[in-house]
Amino acid sequence: MIKLVASDLDGTLLLNGAQKLPEKIFPLIRELKKLGILFVAASGRQYPNMRRLFDPVAEDMAFICENGALAVDHEKVLYQDNFEPDLAREIVAEIDAKEGAEFSCATREFYYIRPKTQHYLDLMTKVVKTTSKVVKSLDEITEPCMKLAVYEPGGVREDSIKYWKERFSDRCTVVTSGIEWVDFIPFGTNKARGLLEYQKRLGIRPEECMAFGDEYNDIEMLKSVPWGFAMAHSKQGVRDAAAYTAERVEPILEKLIRAKGNIEEVL
């Protein structure tokens, strides 16, 4: 029987660049709770942004944020991973210096950003609607940093991914997160770490968990449970990491609810 469902957001629940969740997900989360199944949103997004997205059901679920660097359950921080300050400053400075690249530095309460363009400022504050703090100098970045991200408009190319991996993959995990983002996270930090934290706290076994994702930052989570679903549009490497594929999350959850958590009936 399934007792926990974890799902990525962008490219999984949020399709085609959507910034608003489908309304049908909210009653599904409530029904899962009635069956004793915990729904966990697992994303590279920040906690304040994720909580706003799930506002109607935020008290009925839990969160894995910043690609697994932060787990929050009913406003209680279960753990928080942070970069070594010197490494964080080095990555931020290199992104800031690279033409066409924008950075975000994730802290517990907000993102530090120094937009080079109005497009990026609007993206972060009006489209994605992150809680952000604009700085004029990198010296203003003083809070512990959980995750760093580079944004490249028009999509991150293979040569750009190679560029960032060559510079920092020996000191942290460098992974694509959506079409236009590359994330930098401390070694050992991933969404599977957050999933394991909930499993330990709630006494849930991996075989009692389902997970949904679509990107390389979902791979550890998808591989950590036997019932991992990669979105059908995912890259081949992501599909290879999952046991199953799905066009959308909601129909699978509907089947799970009708089956009262019996995964065999869903499959």
* Domain CATH number, residue 122: 3.30.1240.10
Provide the 8-state DSSP code for 25. H
pLDDT at 164: 95
CB 112 within 8 A of CB 140: yes
198 and 69 within one domain: yes
Separation in Å, CA 119 to CA 18, 22, 125, 128? 17, 26, 10, 12
pLDDT at 102: 96
Nearest to 128 by CA among 144, 146, 149, 142: 149
Average pLDDT (216-230) is 97
Tokens of 220: 């550890």
Give the tens place of pLDDT for each residue, 193-216: 999 999 999 999 999 999 999 999
Residue 178: is its pLDDT beyond 80? no
158 and 197 within one domain: no
Range of 121's domain? 85-185
pTM to 2 decimals?
0.90
| Domain boundary residue, one of 151, 185, 219 | 185
- Predicted confidence band of residue 180 (pLDDT cuts 50, 70, 90): confident
pLDDT at 155: 75
106 and 55 within one domain: no
259 and 133 within one domain: no
Q: What's at 189, amino acid-wise?
A: T
- Predicted confidence band of residue 179 (pLDDT cuts 50, 70, 90): confident
Largest CA distance in the chain: 56
pLDDT at 126: 95
Tokens of 122: 């609007």
Number of residues assigned to the chain: 267
244 and 214 within one domain: yes
Give the tens place of pLDDT for each residue, 14-43: 999 899 999 999 999 999 999 999 999 999
Q: How many domains does the chain have?
A: 2
200 and 215 within one domain: yes
Give the tens place of pLDDT for each residue, 110-169: 999 999 999 999 999 999 999 999 999 999 999 999 999 999 888 778 888 899 999 999
Angle at 218 between CA 216 and CA 224, to 5 degrees: 125
pLDDT at 176: 84
CB 27 within 8 A of CB 39: no
pLDDT at 170: 97
pLDDT at 154: 80
For tokens 């995964």, the residue is 263
100 and 26 within one domain: no
Rounded-to-integer distance, Cα 32 and Cα 73, Å: 16
Provide the 8-state DSSP code for 208. G
User: What percent of the chain is modeled with pLDDT above 70?
Assistant: 100
